[in-house]
Structure 1
Amino acid sequence: MGENTNSKDLLKILQSLENDKLNAIEKIHVAVITNVNLRPIFDIYLKHFLLQSKIDAEISFLDFDDFFVRIYSQQSKLFHHEYDYILVLPNNYTFNDHLFRIPYQLEDKKLVNEIELVKQNLQLFLQTIRNESDAIILWHLFEMPVNPIVLTNSNINNAPYHIIKDLNYFIEYELTKRNNSFVIDTNTLFHRFGSDFMYDKRQWHLSQLPYSKGGCRELTRYIASYIRIFIGKAKKCLVLDCDDLLWGGIVGEEGISNVHLSPFYPGSFYYEFQQEVLNFYNRGILIALCSKNNEPDVIDMLQNHPHMLIKEYHLAAHEINWDDKASNITKIAKKLNISLDSIIFMDDTELEIHQVRKLLPEVRAIHMPREKPHLFKDKLLEEYDLSNHSLTTEDINRTKMYQEEEKRQNDRSLKSKESVEDYLKSLEMKVEISMASEMNISRVAQLTQKTNQFNLTTIRCTEDDVKALCNNEHYDVIVIKLEDRFGNLGVIGTSFIRYGDDTAEIEQFILSCRALGRSIEKILLAYIIKRVKSKGLKQIIGKYRVSPKNQQTSLFYQKNGFQKIDIEGNYTNFHCELSNYANLEQWRNWIECRSLI
């Protein structure tokens, strides 16, 4: 559960911020619009949690009430800076004292009018922000009352519970109508940690700071996870120990019939933990096992225990042996072709956690005390970085795709004496190239957010960004799908093309790591050039922006007939005269292509 935080902890974090900034590789500007005093605790924690992912955030606080005054006075410029994210955190009681504190004193007609006025103001406020800025809006919903007084199904319409619920539904609806506008519902945090932990009533009366230090910590950790997901820093894989985590006891010593695992006490702790793990699995998170054990004992448990929920087919990888866990986690990352910083590791042994933290600092290693199995589920749910903004077909089938990839690798090992071309022919690959559609917009956005290796510009996009480009007559958003004899990999690449008078620019060129080494990138580039030629344009510009993980793509354009022409800010531009372009289409010998553009 949430950690109690004292002033020494906060001071330690504050002192570390400057050193942490030196390692930052992303810089963002965040505006916080609020009607309460959140400084300095809120911004210290928010900076701290973002810097853990090497994101340096400059945070500006704007007064909510002052913002309204400026809106009504029709000031021409409400924002004096360009922001990447705008957090809106209105506090119930300072927002409308009558409505949230003493609604029972209002007559029905006045109450209805008051609620309608609040909705009009919220609508105006949101629309003004959207008109003034392209930043991603994260709106913190009104917090539900700690003591609702009436039953939630009561027909007393002036109860604070009903008023806040109605306004929150209204805010959610208004956000869905606007691009890049999202809800942050922190009521789940207050439910999980409790109001005594989250609030500090003394500080509220002293300084209008509503939250305790621990409350600020959890709130900012939750908000930081949203931002990290947009930037492509979400976690992808949950690596789990087995004994005293997935079941109670040591299976190698006690046998599968004597460990604790069932829907009933004491096995229920582990049973509900496995249920929650599978919820993450069904949302596209990869599940792997890393256990010091005899592999046959664990496999026997997976296959034969009547209450074992996690099965072999749920696992993207497993390393069950007596090697050190840091080495095994490294093997898992290599096998899945993911970076270590996309892994969360959970173990009941503090020594193992300490070793992983020391040897693999990129991995988030979490100690799950074996004497407190009742907290396992909650500790898992507190890992907000395992969340997704949306669920795609590729998410649902992700583990299956990794299992198919393992079959490909095993097949490649058996055919190690074959040439690369002969092996690629044996895969019986088929690709389909088309324009992005409503069916795969979520996947396209996800590729921009999560792909780091073969991503030439690392520009992160939301679904709304992609939709806007799809509807822009000056852009093409192209997707490429792949399947072979082992399975369907779905949408594995995308490219955004912007058209000028006689020149096209490749603003995005992305390929999933699962499709590397097959010449798929050459196919996509060839069809882009064919598309640009069909529009009568004479030249094309490819853009490249270096990042910590995409250096392998730095020569991509030069290897495919482009010439480096200049450097523009963080971007290197490569140029190709289409009349001189000669694509060497060896890939046609081993890939069947279908173009819908």
Structure 2
Amino acid sequence: MNKKIKIAILSSYTSNNIEKYLLQNLQLKNIDSEIKFGGYNQYNQELMDPNSWLNNWKPDIVIILLSATTFFKDLEFKYQIEKHDCLQEECYDKLQQLFAAIKSSNLESKLLLSNLDLPSYSPLGISDNSSKNSYLKLLKKCNEIIESHSNKESSITLFDFDKIASEIGKSNLTDNKLFYLGKIFLSNESASLISIQISTYINSIYGNNKKCLVVDLDNTLWGGIIGEDGVNGIKIGNTNIGDIYSDIQKIILNLKKNGILLAIASKNNQNDVQEVFDKNENMILKEDDFIVKKINWEPKSKNIMGIAQELNIGLNSLVFLDDNPTERLEVKTNVPDVTVIDFPNDIANLPQLLKSISDFETLSITEEDKKRHKLYVENQKRESLKSNTSLKQYLQMLDISISVTKNDIESVDRITQLLNKTNQFNLRTKRYNQSEVLGMIESDDFIVSSLKVKDKYGDLGLTGVIILKRTGHESFFIDSFLLSCRILSRDIETQFLKESINFISEEEVTLRAEYIKTKKNGLTENLYDKLGFDIIKNDTHAKKYAVDLKKYKINDIKWIKVM
């Protein structure tokens, strides 16, 4: 990431022992961060006070960590003393006070709100299950309220602390000595494990999840070696070990359905592999599930570089799965940007390992995500057409049509995703979270213009964003201008800008723009020059432009139809 993100952690207990682990885990994900902690149990005051350190610091992310033990202090001891209805109302009121404090803050931060860890202990003992005044059911209801509130507020993401606590083991969650000495609720081991999960959420907020899983075949997707065991001798289904490989394939297929691309890098004979896909009825994964197949005797690192090139994604977007430690080492050495999964010694542990991998996690799965494989297949057809015709014929034969929409609130998930993922065609590379995007859509001072593209091969979906910001009575500024790499080299950006400018009223006469250089956006360096903008400042890292809209005209692109 280009900037250091500021993270504020507020909690109903002392949580400072998370800091070193969280910094380490974020650094592993190439996220540079600064962390500050609120006072013990001071979250409401710090959120509501406009002059608090929290509101003055303006963090990018606020994390609110709650525990049933500390958030509802002494609830378990009051439970058989006070009336259930009164305690229930007290709990619900406390949640509403927290929600009100969050709403009253002036922060534009993305907020992670934890639910409560449901304790294994109830003051009612085993009778809790049958009691109409169940202690545990009350806490479950509180979690339902937290979840419901999080789902209604776009700026809030639910952090499932109870699920993580269950995985750790409720009895291992707290170091009792630390808790009584300093209200430090999490043991150091728990703090370490929870920081991994928090870093996964933060990584997903900024759209840094991996895009493609590259797999080996022999002893990875199936048991055995196809060149030695034959199509019917490999282990997949029908046996104990075969069931393990079936589960591996099912988990990988689920990744594909969530928008992760699948590719093969295998040292094998093409005909042998083809025979497995054609004749082995136990295969869960089919040949068409893999967008790129590199089946040859070349080094795996070379094939992986070829896969990244074909898919037009960075090597740091790839994850590699291979049972052979020599192959894993070769890839780690020659393409270190690729994430290499540490294959377990016992294949029975691989299904669980694959389920626990966080590299592909995303906060939401958009329709574009679900269609990603299909989109890449369609793009392969485009590339085939392009290689057999002239550029002019290619563009005319594509039959491109676009639609440009102003302030489309229903597409806020995808708009936010593009703002945080797009690097190559991105003039300023400004990142915004969902609440910030919603704020711009709802503001009179912004125009959020979104682009959808279709051609003869299919629907490419929402693939471009322009954000225009009012900067004065008669001026606008192009705050963001970006396109997905899947629609580049077709002059779509020219027509997109023209349609977006049409949203500006005739009274606004000056449009300003800026290019900020990054390591990845060099292809857009001269875009505004080509579009006829006047350059007003040029230095090593940025160029500033302006144009008088009363005199400025963009010609329609002949091969693009505007819908």
TM over 0.5: yes
Amino acid in the other structure paired with 2:8: A
- The alpha carbon displacement at 1:179 in A equals 4.0
1:167, CA displacement in angstroms?
1.2
| Residue pair 1:35, 1:91 contacting (<8 A) in 2 also | yes
Q: Which amino acid aligns with 2:364?
A: S
Identify if the C-alpha distance between structure 1 residues 424 and 270 changes in structure 2 by more than 3 Å, giving closer, same or farther: same
2:83 corresponds to: 107
2:231 partner amino acid: I
CA distance in 1, matches of 2:238, 2:156: 40
Question: Does the CA contact (< 8 Å) of 2:13 and 2:41 recur in 1?
Answer: no
Kept after mapping to 2: 8 A contact 1:341/1:362? yes
Question: Is 1:413 the equivalent of 2:384?
Answer: no
Unaligned ranges ≥5, structure 2: none
Residue 104 of structure 1 deviates from its aligned partner by 4.4
- Paired with 1:315 and 1:198, the residues of 2 have a C-alpha distance of 41
Structure 1 residue 522 and structure 2 residue 494: aligned? yes
Is 1:307 the equivalent of 2:282? yes
Out of 548, 558, 566, the residue aligned to residue 519 of structure 2 is 548
Q: Give me the whole-angstrom Cα distance separating, in 1, the residues matched to 2:276 and 2:79.
A: 57
In structure 2, the partner of 1:145 is 119
Match of 1:497 in 2: 468
Deviates more, 1:158-167 or 1:234-243: 158-167
Deviation, structure 1 residue 203: 4.3
2:4 is paired with a residue whose SS is: strand
Q: 1:360 aligns with which of 315, 328, 335?
A: 335
Secondary structure, counterpart of 2:196 in structure 1: helix
Contact 2:66 2:116 in 1 (8 A): yes
With over 3 angstroms needed to count, the CA separation of the structure-2 counterparts of 1:232 and 1:68, relative to structure 1, is closer
Change (3 A) 1:160 1:281: farther
Correspondence for 1:461 among 421, 432, 449: 432
Query: CA offsets per residue over residues 52-97 of structure 1, 9 Å max, x none?
Result: 233211100112423445679x675352412111111123212223
Structure 2 distance, partners of 1:368, 1:152, is 45
In structure 2, what is the equivalent of residue 577 of structure 1? 548
Q: Secondary structure at the match of 1:190?
A: helix
Where do 1:42-441 residues align within 5 Å? Answer: 42-68=18-44, 76-77=51-52, 79=54, 80-100=56-76, 103-128=79-104, 131-146=105-120, 154-195=129-170, 199-201=174-176, 203-205=178-180, 207-262=182-237, 265-369=240-344, 371-415=345-389, 418=390, 420-441=391-412
Write the letter of the residue equivalent to 1:82. Answer: K
User: What count of residue pairs does the alignment treat as equivalent?
Assistant: 560
Q: Is this contact kept in 2: 1:152–1:161, CA < 8 A?
A: no
SS in 1 for 2:520: coil
- Relative to structure 1, the CA distance from residue 457 to residue 349 in structure 2 (aligned partners, 3 Å threshold; closer, same or farther) is same
Does the 8 Å contact 2:9/2:35 carry over to 1?
A: yes
CA contact (8 A) 2:21 2:192 kept: yes
Asked if the contact 1:30–1:60 (Cα under 8 Å) also holds between the matched residues in 2, the reply is yes
What secondary structure does 2:42 align onto? helix
Indicate how the Cα distance of structure 1 residues 70 and 443 shifts in structure 2: closer, same or farther if over 3 A, else same.
Answer: closer
Task: Find the residue that maps to 1:120 and give its secondary structure.
Answer: helix
**What is the CA deviation profile of residues 440-464 of structure 1, one whole-angstrom value per residue up to 9, with x for unaligned ones?**
3322121112111111122223333
Q: Is the 8 A contact 2:128 2:136 kept in 1?
A: no
The alpha-carbon deviation at position 33 of structure 1 amounts to 0.7
Which letter does structure 1 place at the counterpart of 2:10? I
Amino acid at match of 2:72: N
2-side partners of 1:31 and 1:45: how far apart?
Answer: 15
What code does the residue aligned with 1:512 have? S
**SS across alignment from 1:26:** coil
The question of whether the paired residues in 1 share the 8 Å contact of 2:401 and 2:454 is answered with yes
Identical-residue share of aligned pairs (%)? 28
* In 1, Cα distance between equivalents of 2:43 and 2:162: 25
Q: Which deviations, in whole Å up to 9, do the C-alpha atoms of 1:379-413 show, x marking residues without a partner?
A: 22222231222222211111011011112212222
Question: What letter matches 1:161 in structure 2?
Answer: L
- The amino acid across from 2:62 in the alignment is I
210-219 vs 470-479, greater mean Cα deviation: 210-219
Matched to 2:562, the amino acid is C
1-structure distance, mates of 2:141, 2:185: 23
Structure 1 distance, partners of 2:355, 2:8, is 28
Distance 2:261 2:279 in 1: 22
- Report the TM-score when normalising by structure 1: 0.87
Q: How far apart, CA to CA, are the structure 2 residues paired with 1:82 and 1:150?
A: 45
Residue equivalent to 1:511? 483
Amino acid at match of 2:528: Y
Per-residue CA deviations over 1:528-556 (Å, capped at 9, x if unaligned) read 33433x53321211133333221221221
TM-superposed CA distance for 1:308, in Å, is 1.2
**In the aligned structure 2, how far is the partner of 1:476 from the partner of 1:168?**
37
* Corresponding letter in the other structure for 1:349: N
TM-score scaled to structure 2, two decimals? 0.92
- Work out whether 1:476 is the aligned partner of 2:440: no
Q: CA deviation at 1:187?
A: 3.0
- Preserved CA contact (<8 Å) 1:122 1:171: no
Gap runs ≥5 in structure 1: 1-23
Paired residue for 1:26?
3
The alpha-carbon deviation at position 257 of structure 1 amounts to 1.5
